[in-house]
Amino acid sequence: MITTMLLLALISTILIEFVVLLLLRERRKWVLGSSAVINILTNIPLNLYVIYIDSSVMTIMQGEVLVIAIETLWYFLFIHNLSRAFVYSSLCNAISFLTGLLAELLIAFFFKLLTQ
């Protein structure tokens, strides 16, 4: 069950962030591909930490800030522009986080409707 949740979170994050990068007009294949790599390196550890250790809102927000910092440095290695790397990381993570939150709320809403 946990493995399925982790894979679903990872795959959806990679797809969402890939689309965000395309919307930001990023076309370099090595940047787009590196997005998947850095998401594997950051998404899984953060989700495991939240699942097994601390799922408080503060911990999740601190984890997201840490992920943004790590991914900003990662993108900087490829695009050599710190402000653009920060924009990539911030927007990708904000949009994927909010999309996941919205999906979770919608699932809870429909589950509640179906079980009434």
- Contact, 9 vs 43, CB < 8 A? yes
Residue type, 100: G
In the chain, domain spans: 2-114
What is the value of pTM for the model shown? Answer: 0.91
What is the tens place of the pLDDT at every residue in 41-100? 999 999 999 999 999 999 999 999 999 999 999 999 999 999 999 999 999 999 999 999
Question: Is 90 exceeded by the pLDDT of residue 2?
Answer: no
